[in-house]
Structure 1
Amino acid sequence: MMFHVQHGCVLGKLTTEPARDRADLLAPPVVEALATWSVDDVLVAPIDPDLADTAAFCAAYDVGMEESANCVVVAGKREGVTRYAACVILATTRADVNGVVRRMLDVRKASFAPMAEAVELTGMEYGGITPIGLPAEWPVLVDSRVAATARVIIGSGIRGSKIELPGAALADLPGAQIVEDLAKAAPAA
């Protein structure tokens, strides 16, 4: 799938530039993955790392929660072996961890991976984990609502920046699967 590269775009209060030109704003596994990924329309913008958490980020940078996606690492055990998956969901939703995700991992019980484990296994900062550059053996489960979003904001592997790209581009990630109803609407705050 080919996407038109946009340069110097502004979404909300973010000023983006091509991610491949700003390795300083990406975690090392993300830099490595972008070097071989066929999608060119990947932008990055610096942010205040103290505002990396989704709600604070969206409020500070005028980005809609429906344009912001989270990548969560889920784990479950089967026959003594831990199985991992990354779930990419819109900020307006919550991953169906013990329904859809558990069945897709083929485990009895699934839960969010502990923070230290997720950070160690991904080589990324907690609060900045992104589906780009994850371990090759992990499935990347992308909620269909994310894939249907024209431009989506995701983590960059660090807390000091965010990536912007077409939601549909996430289907081109290694191990990616678009999943209907991977997430459920989040309860109203």
Structure 2
Amino acid sequence: MTTYIPALTLPQTIFNNPAFSIAFPIALGTAVGYSARHTKRTYLSWKNPPLRPPPWVFGPVWTVLYGTMGYAAYRATFLGTSPLNLPSTIAAAKHGATLYTIQLGLNLAWMPLFFGLRRPIEGTVDCAALLGINAYLAYLWGTKVDEMAGWLMLPYVAWLGFATYLSAGTGYLNGWDLSDENVQKKSN
């Protein structure tokens, strides 16, 4: 179990305001998504596993998930660190804030890893790590800090399970090589 690590944790001011706590991950995710605008064409050029959603699904889904996780982070951190709570609840809330910050960094790294650098192994490992961290974070927040925050994380955890499947499936079906040369060679 990690603990609260101030140097690896977003400032408390981000968690103190629900609107900012929701908007912050949405803004970061939008910036990363915008920087990788050409992913639709790339995504469609790769062999993808069954149940692959159309590209237009990802923007709305991630926007909702980022907003939901931001609100969960607000609830767990702001409410959980109230001086009226038990020391164990405050410690769990701070621990969760560190995990939330780490997972947000991993989340934002996935698209550049997978689409920018075309590193499907690293992208799949990143996604699997996200799944594990967020499953634990949902458990931690839901059982030790704020039950609603834990429940709010479950759609994100479910989507991360699906995203891990898509990452691994795409990597596997393309021989773990997503370079333009490999994709063109396989399509000929």
- TM-score scaled by length of structure 2: 0.28
- More strand by percentage: 1
Task: Name the larger-Rg structure.
Answer: 2
- More helix by percentage: 2
